[in-house]
Structure 1
Amino acid sequence: MGWWAAMRDRFRRRRPPLLHIATDEGTGPVVILVHGIASSSVTFRELVPLLTPRHRVIAVDILGFGDSPAPEGCEYRLEDHVEALAATIRSLRLREPFVLVGHSLGSLIVARLAASPVTRFDRRTRISRVVLVGPPVYLSPSEIGDRWVRARVNVYLRVYAFLRENKERTITNAAIISRMLPKGIFEITERNWTPFVKSLEHCIESQTLVSDIAILRVPVDVVYGSLDAFIQSGSLTVIERMRHVAMHRVEANDHLIRPRLARELAAVIDEDATGEVAATPVQDRANPSIASR
């Protein structure tokens, strides 16, 4: 094989795969939806009908889940997820800035994408606003001053390690849970086991969400349920204090995007999904407020 052919093959192997676009419907300002771990774009089944009358809604399956590719040898680092999402968005050739919405692990992915200088200055990936839904914020225990919050975060991290280290039990229990939910909402199987454990370890357990949000230059909204078991009490405090972040707490809702949370989320997206950055400068944005519906 010649030098040029070798370089060409190497480039092709490194090219991020394009994700499966499960939904692309409606007209108007673009909203891109990114789901979380062990799930698929079905996550947004309650939200999409609320947005399509006024928006073009695009929902993707993240790398290794749903109908998206699971590349051999992929480590499912946050960078892997971000590169695949960025490549997919560029392939859409969008002409105007768009709202980027992430749920759970999707929150980590979209925050990193929006914080990336490469995508921030690329006209094809211009983001006007970021909406994070049920973000699993886990600071490193060494960075947490409150000993009670630190102890609870340690428990979460030990549980995640247990899930990764006990494959058969995790898959069996996941099958029981998934039967009680719409297909595609929560699935851990042999097919997506590697994406699951590696995304859990490399993205959720070892995350940079807080620092990514801190450097964003677009408005950020955080929407979460009061009964969300994946959001640790006290873990959102550091985000709440950021002046460009607005908090929206939805009563009587868990981690899933159920009808109540979907309505709140649609209202938040409609606040400014015109494809332009909010009129109020990010640094002068009002202090975070808690909304309940």
Structure 2
Amino acid sequence: MPTRSGLVEIDHLMCTVSDMPAAVTAMSRLGFRLTPESEIGGMSNRLAQLTPIRAGSANFFELMTINDRTRVPALMQEILSGPDGLKMIVHVCDDIESATRAFAYAEAPIGDTWHVEREWVSDDGLIEDVRFTVLIPQRGALPFFMNAYKPNSLSQYTQPKFQHHDNGALNIRRVYAVCPEGRLAEEVAKLETVYACVARRSADGSFTITPRDVVLDVSDPGLSAHRFEGAVPLPADASTLVGLQIAVVDLTHTERLLRANSISPICRPGRVVVRAEDACGMMIEFVQASETHCEATERGTGNEL
């Protein structure tokens, strides 16, 4: 196992949506403010930018849809195929060679490398040359789609004006995934190798892996169905990403906003769970942020690499 993976953090999650206008409506009902739609080679996206927990990474989820399949690379067509929901974990990395070795150690050698360059115009009119390299492991080598990118700047993904949401969302704290019971230990071991850290087994049988601040929580379908009370459909024979945990300023306020917008969440002590059918195919678990967490969030600009 490598002693350093080069993967700094779980930076963001990609969620495929088949109908962008309907997805925007759904996210607005949940209290999220989205960035304007941006076109990317036959696809378009909108982001729910949250506040980075600390410098060196962004923190958001991305709604992505295909507009013109003839212009979309085969790999992206595969990633974005199937029903709406979470499709990929995107990591920010600080060292391409270390990240490449980490994937290789996990028997997921890099299948493709993309070099992207484009201009981004900030609110004050400054033109920034945005460049990043994307490492894409071979398909099928990991439990679910994952990649890593090394940007020269995170400014485009950490815009303060988009980090304030009606639901009080601060940041993504946890990513939920399921793996078939018979492959759970094997898949977790592979993830330990990728992240160069040891997974912890919780009392309920789930595994948690923490590259830095955002936790990857992996369980089998039976446990996940019990924990989330049917809030998200769970395949019995495939590993998949199923949901996010998002810390909010005031959980009571978040629940009231949801109910005011005709959303009926599952409410349990310390958490409010939105069903996948109301959140573009992904389950969202809102939790109360601690005072320490709020203070740390205020300091986390996320613009440094």
Higher relative contact order (CA 8 A, sep 6+): 2
Q: Which has the higher helix share?
A: 1
The TM-score with structure 1 as length reference comes to 0.30
The TM-score with structure 2 as length reference comes to 0.29
Q: Which has the higher strand share?
A: 2
